[in-house]
Amino acid sequence: MSAAHASTASALRMLAIVTGAVILSMTTWFSATAILPQLTEHWALSPGMQTWMTNGVQLGFVIGALSLSMVNLPDIAPLRLLMGGAAALAALANLALLLAPSGEWALACRIVTGIALAGVYPPALKLIATWFQRGRGLAMGILIGGLTLGSAFPHLLRGLSQGFAWTSVVLTASVMTGLGAMLFVLLVREGPYPFSRAVFDPRQIGRVLRNRGVAFANLGYFGHMWELYAMWGWFLAFAGAGLGANGTMSPSQLSLFAFAVIGVGIVGCLSGGWLADRIGRTATTALMMTVSGLCALGIGLVFDGPDWLLVIVALIWGVSVIGDSAQFSAMTTEIGDPDLVGTALAFQLGIGFALTMISLALVPIIADAVGWRWAFLVLVPGPIVGTIAMLVLRRLPEAARIAHGQR
């Protein structure tokens, strides 16, 4: 019994360290988005370049994740060194924004930041899976909760630092990511349930693509991602067009509101992980996407108020839009080929983030055409497709391996 307690304590300690490092590292993701008005003024960014400043990290992440999956690096390299080196590169690329002479150079910095973060996120998911067999859904939910908090942090920093130069947001996020890199290298190690090692073979990606269970888990994730980052990336603009335009909230209050809407997702991650380990991952993800899809459909109805109702719908959306995210990755670790788990995760995330680039670009186009009130309607098809994929997967024989039979 004492050995079991010691093992559990070690797993929880490692989960805390990795989650903390992810929180620190992911602050660079939205650091430029949170200060986009200041960057627009500083570099005289065109509307198209503003969109690319939001999309740049996504593009880099796609390049990085798909490259990692093609060379099987997450299944070959020591994970702590891969994550530590990647986080250090992200910190340097983000810091380079302070030296960028133009918007084009700044965009290049954002793309490199995304490439680097692809070496943090998928390997972190795989590493946590080596520490947890039972309770994996909740453990991964905690990790994705850390990602959520890290992504939301720049909005909090901007909301609390009104009157300070935008450079302070960039500098703070870079320092935090550098600290995350140190945690990865110095304190992180793989757990007692390691996956098989792969050998370099670009053809291995074919095995990932032919795995039927993983394919449906991917489809669910793709529907989820169509909605998630477009909501996160443009919610501040949506709220500004509503609560900001009617004078309900000041710019700093809008930033704090955006932080709350994104940050409250940690509640969804924890509750989604707890539910998934008890009622099943496919059921939990279908439930979360149903709620988030209804929020995307309905938030335009409360755009003009009452303000308290808009806030409630936004917070429910913030909980549900991310609450299922970890479970797609958990499913992949359970039904994927053991020696290609890292490759499968990198591929899943790479394609998922590629889709976010399309939805991120579409939302402001719709907003220009019909106004911000109905801009988020374009996100509704994502959770519909994702929910259908989960209900189909639930009926497949492969689903018996999900969550120890909980599907």
Question: For the segment 289-347, what is each residue's pLDDT rounded down to a tens digit?
Answer: 999 999 999 999 998 878 899 999 999 999 999 999 989 988 998 888 777 787 888 88
Tokens 């394919």 -> residue = 215
Burial classification of residue 329, based on how many CB atoms lie within 10 Å of its CB (0-12 exposed, 13-18 middle, 19 or more buried): buried
Across residues 27-31, what is the average pLDDT? 79
User: Is 218's pLDDT higher than 60?
Assistant: yes
Characterise 199 by phi-psi region: left (phi > 0), alpha (psi -120 to 50), beta (else): beta
Lowest mean pLDDT of 13-17, 116-120, 127-131, 164-168, name the range.
164-168
pLDDT band at 392 (very low <50, low <70, confident <90, very high): very high
**pLDDT for residue 39:** 87
Tokens 């093609």 -> residue = 70
**pLDDT for residue 111:** 94
Across residues 370-382, what is the average pLDDT? 95
* Angle (deg, nearest 10), helices 325-335 and 121-129: 60
pLDDT band at 401 (very low <50, low <70, confident <90, very high): confident
Q: Are 80 and 188 in contact (CB under 8 A)?
A: yes
Lowest mean pLDDT of 85-94, 158-167, 241-250, 279-288, name the range.
158-167
Lowest mean pLDDT of 70-74, 98-102, 299-303, 321-325, name the range.
70-74
Across residues 136-149, what is the average pLDDT? 86
**pLDDT for residue 1:** 44
| Level-2 CATH architecture, domain 2-405 | Up-down Bundle (1.20)
Write phi, then psi, for 225 (nearest 5 degrees): -75, -30
**pLDDT for residue 310:** 92
More confident position, 54 or 347: 347
**pLDDT for residue 57:** 87
Q: Which of 194, 201, 202 is nearest to 78 (CA)?
A: 194
Characterise 140 by phi-psi region: left (phi > 0), alpha (psi -120 to 50), beta (else): alpha
Report the C-alpha gap between 28 and 117 in whole angstroms.
9
Across residues 35-53, what is the average pLDDT? 84
Report the C-alpha gap between 71 and 99 in whole angstroms.
33
22-55 exposure pattern, b = at least 16 Cβ within 10 A, e = fewer: bbbbbbbbbbbbbbbbebbebbebeeebbbbbbb
**pLDDT for residue 337:** 79
Extended strands (E) in 240-330: none
Write the CB contacts of 316 (distance below 8 Å, at least 6 apart in sequence).
Answer: 291, 295
User: Is 180's pLDDT higher than 90?
Assistant: yes
* Angle (deg, nearest 10), helices 47-71 and 341-370: 160
**pLDDT for residue 189:** 92
Through-space distance between the first and last CA atoms of the chain, rounded to whole angstroms: 29
More confident position, 8 or 247: 8
Across residues 385-396, what is the average pLDDT? 94
Lowest mean pLDDT of 79-93, 98-112, 202-216, name the range.
202-216
Report the C-alpha gap between 360 and 30 in whole angstroms.
13
pLDDT band at 126 (very low <50, low <70, confident <90, very high): confident
User: Is 246's pLDDT higher than 80?
Assistant: no
Across residues 187-207, what is the average pLDDT? 74
**pLDDT for residue 77:** 84
Characterise 162 by phi-psi region: left (phi > 0), alpha (psi -120 to 50), beta (else): beta
Across residues 267-274, what is the average pLDDT? 91
Q: Which of 227, 244, 242 is nearest to 320 (CA)?
A: 227
Q: Which of 197, 177, 173, 163 is nearest to 79 (CA)?
A: 197
Dihedral in degrees, nearest 10, Cα atoms 171, 147, 178, 70 = -120
Mean pLDDT, the chain, integer: 87
More confident position, 227 or 159: 227
Report the C-alpha gap between 309 and 397 in whole angstroms.
43
User: Is 36's pLDDT higher than 50?
Assistant: yes
More confident position, 213 or 146: 213
Tell me which amino acid residue 56 is: G
Q: Which of 403, 387, 152 is nearest to 266 (CA)?
A: 152
Lowest mean pLDDT of 170-174, 299-303, 397-401, name the range.
397-401
Q: What percent of the chain has pLDDT over 70?
A: 93
Across residues 363-369, what is the average pLDDT? 92
Across residues 11-16, what is the average pLDDT? 92
Indicate the length of the chain as a whole number.
407
